Each structure stands twice: as C-alpha cells, then as structure tokens.
Amino acid sequence: DTAVSQTPKYLVTQMGNDKSIKCEQNLGHDTMYWYKQDSKKFLKIMFSYNNKELIINETVPNRFSPKSPDKAHLNLHINSLELGDSAVYFCASSNSGGSYGYTFGSGTRLTVV
C-alpha cells in the first residue's frame, strides 16, 4: 500500500530525448509537488498542484511540463533532455497548507548521457 508511488525508479536516456515520470498518491491529499535533488543532495521545489491547478512554478526551464489529470496524479514530462537534468526527482503530496505534513515518493533517478 504505497502512499506515494513514482515510476520509473531509474531512467537512463540520451541527450535530446523526451521522457516522462509518473506519480500517484492514495492518501486523499489535494496538493502534489515535484522536487529536484541535485548531486549535492539539495532539495528544491519545482512545481505544486492543488486540485489539478498549478499553484507553484519555480524558475524551471519550460522544457519541464507538469500535468495533473486528477488530484491523485501528477506527471512530469521533460523535453530535449540535457546533461544538467541528471538528478533525483521526488514527488510529494500533502493536504492544503501542508499542516499534516508532506509524504514523499521514493524518487526517480534520471541520468542523461
């Protein structure tokens, strides 16, 4: 009964390719997030959706496009992958306002070669 599940866990791809990462949560939360963890392990928010509406869009290249078909799913599509996109991407969910905490998925390690 995984609370926040991401697929795939590992993704190795060539520069210039387009790839997607999927995320699903079964906690009944109405807010979902994408975080990026760089090689120094720093975690930074990329996007946040509340009830399918984009709420937070940090200074992320427009090659990254999140999509939320419903409040239990948040996918991340990346176009024209670059070497610098290599990182671990974490999906998370919370209730509105985050007052009950944030639950994270196990991450997707993206390697661009």
Between residues 86 and 103, which has the closer beta carbon with respect to another protein?
A: 103
Region from 14-22, 62-70, 71-79, 99-107 binding another protein, contact rule CB under 8 A = 99-107
Q: Does 25 sit near another protein (CB under 8 A)?
A: no
Q: Are strands 108-112 and 10-13 parallel, antiparallel or unpaired?
A: parallel
Joined tokens for residue 53: 């509406």
Rg (CA), the chain: 13
Q: Does 52 sit near another protein (CB under 8 A)?
A: no
Q: Which residues bind another protein (CB under 8 A)?
A: 31, 33, 40-45, 48, 50, 55-56, 90, 92, 94, 96-99, 101-107
